[in-house]
Structure 1
Amino acid sequence: MKSKDLVILIGIIGIVLMMVIPVPLGLLDFLLVVNISLALMILLIAMNTNDALNFSIFPSLLLITTMFRLALNISATRNILSKGEGGHVIETFGRFVAGNEIAIGFIVFLILVVVQFIVITKGSERVAEVAARFTLDAMPGKQMSIDADLNSGLINEQQARERREKIEKEADFYGAMDGASKFVKGDAIAAIVILFINLIGGFVVGMAVHGMSFGEALETYSVLTIGDGLVSQIPALLISTSAGLVVTRAASEGNLAFDLTNQLFKFPRLLYIVAGTVAMLGLFTPIGWATTLPFAAVLAFAGYRMSKNMERQKQEEELMVEEQQIEEVRSPESVVGLLQVDPIEFEFGYGLIPLADTQQGGDLLDRIIMIRRQCALELGLIVPVIRIRDNIQLKPNEYVIKIKGNTVARGELLLNHYLAMSPGIDDESVVGIETKEPAFGLPALWIEHSVKERAELAGYTVVDPPSVVATHLTEVIKRHAHELIGRQETKALIDNLKEQYPALVDELIPSVLSIGDVQKVLVKLLKEKVSIRDLVTIFETLADHGTYTKDPDILTEYVRQALSRQITNQFAHPGETLKVITVGPQLEKKIAESVQQTEHGSYLALDPVSTQQIYQKLNEQVTRQIQSGQQPIVLASPTIRMYLRQIVERTMQDVPVLSYSELEPSVEVQSVGVVNL
């Protein structure tokens, strides 16, 4: 424990002990001065704080100072009643304020109590209560705003995390202030109670115990009671004012002095009106011009100086903006910024702006958040921030999806319609505008809202335009996921894995494989839509086989075999029969004999005639599977799987090619077709 922590703990314990142990008058005088100094320091800090969170310890500090003040009250009351003395500080406050008139002292003390209890404490309590409620109510909207800024690229992940933390701290702070304000209210009530205890108890003790006369007891204990009340209520008033300043600082740009001078004197013309009004009061009322005209002149001169300063400041700002624009055009950095390419962009025509405008009911930003989460769960990939912007060069209802600046998909939407896809048997009563579903290219219709219910009853799949866009964007991301993971993204995945599995990462990188080697394997897995979420198994496999070969193709095959359960569950549910298209022995032999080995790895060298024959045979089997309503899956031996995949992906990229080693032994496989030469 640090020394300053020990001092704080001893101080808290000392406050508690003061309530039960008598405090000498000399020490009591010192602690009363400390109490006044501490209250003044808190007030100055509250005035110079730009943000309420910069003084987040205030609720706890409020409790400690209240308890300290009550402990001083108890100690002072004990000395007043037992000894008839309160120390130099209490006696000085009592005699200085009251003078020879005790009634004046009581009135001043009661005014302080009333101001603190009814005006400042009540107001601070209400403001804290309202601020806490509105802060909690505004949290969901602020969170959505942060997510929207993150998705649109205005902020990064770190900035979003910091904003979320600030929102949580604000909610905690104002909630704590709502509760802490009750301490100030209770302290004011306790001061009134202690006042009557000291006064009445002092009369009784003074006359009964110390043998004082009524007049002597009245004078002695009245002065001490007033002094004790003032020396307690003045710090309490300062801290109550500090609480009010802290909870009322909203939309602040600086400290209190900056805000007052910047906002109160922001309109110099109003000072002329005030100056004229004050001057008229002096000329046409008994107040007299000698009192009002000097002040009116000062206000008029201040308004004149402020007008000149504002004009000069405006000219300087305009000149600065012009110089900055000229400098930006001349500087090479302005050109460098244009070289930045966003990983994913979604651009749309002006007719589709309601999709992204939350004020018009658009929920595209929320859908993009869900898409990123879905891709993280299904592919294990952290999708980069998707840049969303409108493009006046597009058609009003058109949108395009770009990957690294290149258009990879486009589509058109009709916002006031629904997209209906036929179940296979068309219904003539369902009429609309013919189109194609953008994600999968299926024939569809844009139908009006009045036809929606009829289409659903006829078995059509009916979706709204935002769902069409979300589905299309999801499929594009999955199809191009391998293009979104580079070395930097791989490094981020490695760092995240290292937090839980440091030994595994340290063994693999960089002694066995480099980040680039791992990235190549992950790219090949994602290219065939194999999830990389199980990084532990992937890294374990790479660590086992990376010492024997650095060929990414061979390492990928080892990883796929290690992920056999995942790959099997991807295409077949437990208890189902996996229907596949197998590769005949002649074709397997032909491919195996066409593999050429070099020092840089192996490659497939097939003649064009054989390649064309394989395309034709494979296309026949795949078409037959699609027509029967089944997903075509090609099954080959482990030795030729990756080479057969190289042939298939050129024309049938979505057809998966599996090997026998990638399927679990418990899965029943049924061959529904054979590809052979």
Structure 2
Amino acid sequence: MNSFLDFLKTQGSGHARLLAGPVLILMVLAMMILPLPPFILDLLFTFNISLSVMILLVAMFTRKPLDFAAFPSVLLFATLLRLSLNVASTRVVLLNGHKGPDAAGQVIEAFGHFLVGGNFAVGIIVFIILVIINFTVITKGAGRIAEVGARFTLDAMPGKQMAIDADLNAGLIGEDEARKRRAEVSQEAEFYGAMDGASKFVRGDAVAGLLIMVINIIGGLIVGMVQHGLSASDAGTVYTLLTIGDGLVAQIPALVISTAAGVVVSRVADDRDVGQQMIGQLFSNPNVMFITSGILTLMGLIPNMPHVAFLLLAAIIGGSGWLLLQRQQRDLQAAAADPGHEQAAAVAAAAEASWDDVAPVDPLGLEVGYRLISLVDHQQNGELLHRIRSLRKKFAQEMGFLPPVVHIRDNLEIKPTDYRILLFGVEIGRGVAQTGQWLAIDPGGVTGPVQGTPTKDPAFGLPAFWIDPALREQAQIAGYTVVDTATVVATHLNHLMHRYGSRLLGRQETQQLLDHVARDVPKLVEDLVPKTLSLPQLQNLLRSLLDEDVPIRDMRSILETITEYAPRLAALNPAGTGPNPDELLAQVRVALGRAIVQHWFASETELRVIGLDARLERVLTQALGSSGALEPGLAENLLGDVERIVQGQEDRGDAPVLVVPPVLRASLSRFLRHHLPHMAVLSSAEIPEERIIRVTAVVGGSPA
């Protein structure tokens, strides 16, 4: 039974909403055609006043114009209702006006007598002023705002639609949300266009009210004197007061609705309604209220001024400003006592998580303690910022691609003088930097100690001291390498960027590198990707070069080698998965042989390198060829021997470079790179013919 009653209520509510429009039209037609008794006329005038007040309140409490999208239609129906009331009241006034001031109803009598004191001259002036205010000020301004709003909304529609499509393609919003936003954009344009047209109704209504008043006064004089035998004075007094009351009872709701139209089209979209915006912005600054109170006080002290009114209002405004200042100070104290309150409130206010909460990880980041903020602060002209810009430029010139931007931020969780270097959010390096001091690094062979705080160079682990600036020259004379704090951090960052250079070359950087090369050799790039090699395969090959600190500046030679050898190696691969990556990498390294050798030996003609014993070479070839891995005992002995020889090579000032046959180069490089990242393994095929190889140490044997 209850569900049946609920169904009837729901259906009844739906039918009532459907009948609201037709019933209003019938009311308008009935008022224009059928004569209405004064009591019904009073009810309709009261309804018109209440409707105008409701429209104004709804306009005040809307947060954006589309919240009251039905306003143009409401404005049209309210105007028609008011005009039909004018027609009905005119009929009653002219028919029954000779009977007395209450012949047209108590509402018209009240507006005609009590509001203007029964003086028809005052009533005419008040009525004309209301019409001028409505027609010249409010309606004209609202119409202009609606016109400009419609124009700018239409001009901005393509950009808004493109922004919605971009968010949809990026996956930031779904199809339903995109459809909803497109509908809102269209509704906004239609709303301002409709408001521009609806304002013409209000303007016409003001003109019609003025004409109706003139016609009613002239018609009342004629009817009173001709039909009812009234004198000109009596007819003028009675019919003019009734006409003025009729005009005022119609123009005051018209003024209220015009004000509502101005509020709707002039508001700026915000999370608050108009009342909250006005109070929050007008009465939020106590200094403004103090100055206003002071001005009113000065005006109140001028002779012959209404002292009580000015001084009373000055006291009220000044007291309100003092209370507001006290409340703001309490809020600041509460925030200082509970710094996490605002953050907790913000977290609590977020009812649902969104994709905006998922922050992307920076490819390369630098976090500093609070004492190092001066090094990275723009306002303090932080030296480290300039060093990092130069560092990225130098890296691009040396390695052949532009690394990602280094995102710098402070971190209160680390020590004040510490810094961290992050790669995709993971720490790859940490160090200590003392602002206002210099780092004296011992490169070996110093003549004496220096006074300072002992530490280690964060980039290479060399012994060092933090010294005062006054001891800088003394440390340099003693053989120390002395650098400032910004250089220490920049050198550490540069070292790690070279060490992890392959991780910095992502898919996007590879495509940008190809686009850059395509400006000079477009045909070569067009024939390579994706015809010969896919973009991921090219990225992996370039990463393999960077893993061994081989620059990729000579992209033309790299691409030409890939174009030449990739089809041949792919034909030899029985799996049909394209060229073997190690074999293709070997061919590319041969093509870059001169650059690789120059990177390690500069312009030296004689290359002092490390070699392999012939017996060890055969053992390694057999072991790596059969299983692809070394047995633990052999690997341990090999690694210990190489570490000892590399240390001796560096002590003599020679480059830590091991030259091996091409068949062993890739496997030995992968094995030794993890333990000795600062050494290089070259193939004998990569050495140019004009360079002379001198083996200064042999792994697994005695020097040659």
Residue 695 of structure 2 aligns to which amino acid in structure 1? S
Residue 676 (1) aligns with residue 680 (2) = no
Mapping of residues 101-500 of structure 1, within 5 Å: 267=288, 283=304, 326=348, 328=350, 330-337=352-359, 340-428=360-448, 430-500=450-520
In structure 2, the CA distance between the partners of 1:626 and 1:329, relative to structure 1 (3 Å rule), is farther
Report whether the alignment pairs 1:560 with 2:607: no
Distance 1:470 1:536 in 2: 31
Cα deviation per residue 1:34-54 (whole Å; 9 max; x = unaligned)? xxxxxxxxxxxxxxxxxxxxx
SS in 2 for 1:439: coil
CA 1:503–1:328: 2 relative to 1, 3 Å: farther
* Counterpart-to-counterpart distance in 2, 1:588 and 1:329: 67
Q: Distance in 2 between matches of 1:651 and 1:429?
A: 32
SS class of match (2:431): strand
Once the two structures are TM-superposed, the CA of residue 333 in structure 1 deviates from its matched residue by 2.5
Please list every run of 5 or more consecutive structure 2 residues that lacks an aligned counterpart in the other structure: 1-280, 329-342, 571-578
Alignment of 1:488-567 (within 5 A): 488-547=508-567, 548-549=569-570, 550-567=579-596
CA distance 1:456–1:605, change in 2 (3 Å): closer
CA displacement, residues 527-576 of structure 1 (integer Å, 9 cap, x when unaligned): 10011122121111111122223222222111111112211211223344
1:647 and 2:667 matched = no
Assess, with a 3 A threshold, how the Cα gap between structure 1 residues 513 and 328 changes in structure 2: closer, same or farther.
farther
Deviation string 1:298-319 (CA, Å, 9 cap, x unpaired) is x99xx99xx9xx99xx9xxxxx
SS of the equivalent of 1:566 reads: helix
The question of whether the paired residues in 1 share the 8 Å contact of 2:601 and 2:655 is answered with no
Task: Measure, in 1, the Cα distance between the counterparts of 2:559 and 2:303.
Answer: 88
1:611, distance to aligned residue in structure 2 (A): 1.8
Shift of 1:482: 0.9
Which range moved further: 270-279 or 459-468? 270-279
- Post-superposition Cα deviations, 1:260-294, rounded to whole Å, max 9, x if no partner, equal xx99x99577667667878988957xxxx9xxxxx
SS of 1:383's equivalent? coil
Deviation string, structure 1 residues 578-615 (Cα, Å, up to 9, x no partner): 10001222233223223448xxxxx7222222222322
Which residue pairs with 1:61 in the alignment? none
Q: 1:335 to 1:274 in 2, by over 3 A?
A: closer
Question: Is the aligned partner of 1:621 residue 2:645?
Answer: yes
Question: Given that residues 422 and 459 in structure 1 are in contact (C-alpha distance below 8 angstroms), is that contact kept between their aligned partners in structure 2?
Answer: yes
2: CA distance between counterparts of 1:443 and 1:489? 37
Matched-pair contact (CA < 8 Å) for 2:605–2:690: no
> The residue matched to 1:330 in structure 2 has which SS?
coil
Task: Judge conservation of contact 1:571–1:578 (CA < 8 Å) in 2.
Answer: no
In structure 2, distance between residues paired with 1:349 and 1:661? 49
| Correspondence for 1:259 | none
TM-score normalised by structure 1 residue count: 0.52
Paired position in structure 2 for 1:580: 609
> Which consecutive segments of 4 or more residues in structure 1 shift more than 6 A?
271-282, 321-324
Tell me the equivalent position of 1:231.
none
**Does 2:681 align with 1:657?**
yes
- Alpha-carbon deviations, 1:449-508, whole Å to 9, x = none? 232221112222111111111111100111111111122221222222223322111111
Q: CA deviation at 1:328?
A: 3.6
Q: Distance in 2 between matches of 1:451 and 1:272?
A: 63
Q: Secondary structure at the match of 2:610?
A: strand
Could you tell me which residue of structure 2 aligns to residue 292 of structure 1?
none
Q: For residues 430 and 325 of structure 1, do their structure 2 counterparts lie closer, same or farther at Cα, with a shift above 3 Å needed?
A: closer
Say which SS state the counterpart of residue 400 (structure 1) adopts: strand
Q: Which residue of 2 aligns with 1:173?
A: none
State the alpha-carbon separation in 2 of the partners of residues 271 and 617 from structure 1. 87
Gaps of 5+ in 1: 1-261, 290-295, 315-320, 598-602
Percent identity between the aligned chains? 33
Q: Is the 8 A contact 2:448 2:478 kept in 1?
A: no
Compared with structure 1, are the counterparts of its residues 329 and 551 closer, same or farther at alpha carbon in structure 2 (3 Å cutoff)? farther
Structure 2 CA distance for aligned equivalents of residues 434 and 347 of structure 1: 23
SS at match of 2:662: coil
Distance 1:386 1:461 in 2: 27
Equivalent-residue separation in structure 2 for 1:635 and 1:566 (angstroms): 16
C-alpha distance in 1 between matches for 2:696 and 2:376: 47
Change (3 A) 1:668 1:596: closer
Tell whether the 8 Å contact from 1:591 to 1:604 is kept in structure 2 after alignment.
no
For 1:449 and 1:425, locate their aligned partners in 2 and report how far apart those are by CA, in whole Å: 22
Shift of 1:329: 5.1
SS at match of 2:654: coil
Q: Work out the CA distance in 2 between the residues paired with 1:560 and 1:425.
A: 37
Which residue identity lines up with residue 398 of structure 2 in the other structure?
E
| 1: CA distance, partners of 2:692 / 2:438 | 41
Secondary structure of 1:393's match?
Answer: coil
* Partner SS, residue 445 of structure 1: strand
Change (3 A) 1:270 1:336: same
Choose 1 or 2 for highest CA Rg: 2
Partner-residue secondary structure (3-state), 1:581: strand
Structure 1 residue 347, shift from structure 2 partner: 1.4
Counterpart-to-counterpart distance in 1, 2:366 and 2:297: 60
Q: What is the CA–CA distance in structure 1 between the aligned matches of 2:363 and 2:344, rounded to whole Å?
A: 33
Residues 59-108 of structure 1, C-alpha deviations (whole Å, 9 max, x = no match)? xxxxxxxxxxxxxxxxxxxxxxxxxxxxxxxxxxxxxxxxxxxxxxxxxx
- CA shift for structure 1 position 671: 0.9
Deviation, structure 1 residue 440: 0.7
| Residue matched to 1:634 | 658
Counterparts of 1:329 and 1:541 in 2: how far apart (Å)? 57
Map 1:3-18 → 2, pairs under 5 A: none
Q: How many residues align?
A: 397
| SS at 2:487 equivalent | helix
Work out the CA distance in 2 between the residues paired with 1:328 and 1:494: 43
State whether residues 512 and 546 of structure 1, in contact with CA within 8 Å, keep that contact through their aligned partners in structure 2: yes
- State the one-letter code of the partner of 2:613: G
SS of the residue 2:698 aligns to: strand
Whole-angstrom CA distance in 2 between matches of 1:468 and 1:612: 35
CA contact (8 A) 1:574 1:667 kept: no
TM-score by length of 2: 0.50
Q: Hey, what's the Cα distance between the residues in 1 that align with 2:667 and 2:418?
A: 39
Change beyond 3 A, Cα 1:581–1:269: same
